[in-house]
Amino acid sequence: MWATVSSLSHTDPGGSVGPVATQRVELFARDSPLVLESGATLAPVEVAYETYGHLNGDRSNAVFICHALTGDAHAAGYHDDPERPGWWDNIIGPGKPVDTDRLFVICANVLGGCMGTTGPSSVDPATGEPYGLRFPLFTIRDMVAVHRALVRHLGIARLRAAIGGSLGGMQVMHWAMDFPDDLAAAVLVCATSRLSAQNIAFSAVAREAIMRDPNFHGGDYQRIGARPDAGLAVARMMAHITYLSEEGMRNKFGRRFQNGTTPRFGFDVDFQVESYLHHQGEAFLRRFDANSYLYLTRVMDYFDAFGDMSQAGPKLERLTTPFLVVSFDSDWRFDTSHSREIVQVLSAHRVPVSFREISSPHGHDSFLLVIPEYHRTVASFLRRAEARPAAMPAEVR
């Protein structure tokens, strides 16, 4: 759910899409605003997005990437420094599983984000001040509405596939259920149809850390030139623990001390794992907004794809989009039971679905890393979707 560029890295096969630029477009004019599920309206909505590869003549080779909680539009290639590629560069590019030699790839910053798309840090045109907590609450449905508007703006009627990890998978799930004609295939990685009580609890503590920071000022910190950095860093540190696995942390840090082999017996950073978490918290402050963190975690809390089967059931009965659902055996944030629940519901409604649990020691962050079996699985599914986008066999493993 949480796009983090892990310090764990692997050499990836294939090439880079090279230098790229983030583009921006205004959608939803004032006379045709975005009407949110709550009934509130937004106009205009600025959307930051990037594209990779080339759209073919009949515009049938487009793939949409839905990013996770703290991701952005910069999924592949690089802006200035080739050593700092996009957050999913290892899977998007020429010869990679999402092969830009064949596919036209789109990735957009989500509604409510802070990387170029309209969100709580944006200026409210009605007041000339940042929205802060006056930004209206929104849902996964609203995020998908913005994605769809961007796709239409690009002149694309039907996507070859939509692919998402974690929160991105929630977006793909909703997109396929509500607009089945939009997608020829759907890929969900480390995803869930709804958060468990434990997951909601983690997010609640993170939000409390932010809102109890003295510099939060009711969400109006931008207006007074302050930042709730302490709270946001703590929220990130706690969340990051859940993205890793116990095995991964043991292998990477163990009980090793930061300096030498003996403890300093104090409350400063002493263990290597403490230093790592502090680094993650500090680095996060340079690229994310506290209010966006509040809103996007709340969006996840409320999502429940199959909660009301009187509404979800008929949608599933109509759904013929082939799905690939991938989980990792060490992911305890969204463990494999979350993926199996999705697979069971889809299968019960005769939706074509392939499922794969993949072994990895890296926890939830596995979806961001080069894990050969994972990459082969995605590549194979996308090739099959290209060959038979409307009639792929179900395969539940």
Could you give the residue numbers annotated as active site? 166, 331, 364
87 neighbors 369 (Cβ within 8 angstroms):
no
DSSP at 127: T
Q: Which helix (H) or strand (E) holds 229?
A: helix 229-243
Q: Which helix (H) or strand (E) holds 48?
A: strand 45-52
Query: Maximum distance among all alpha carbons in the chain?
Result: 67
The strand pairing partners of 51, in sequence order, are: 106
Q: Which helix (H) or strand (E) holds 23?
A: strand 23-27
Compute the distance between CA of residue 136 and CA of residue 54 in angstroms, rounded to an integer: 36
Phi, psi at 287, each rounded to 5°: -135, 0
**Closest C-alpha to 49, from 150, 156, 166:** 150
Neighbours of 370 (CB within 10 A): 17
Quickly tell me which residue has 């039907």 as its tokens.
Answer: 158
Between strands 98-99 and 92-93, the pairing is parallel
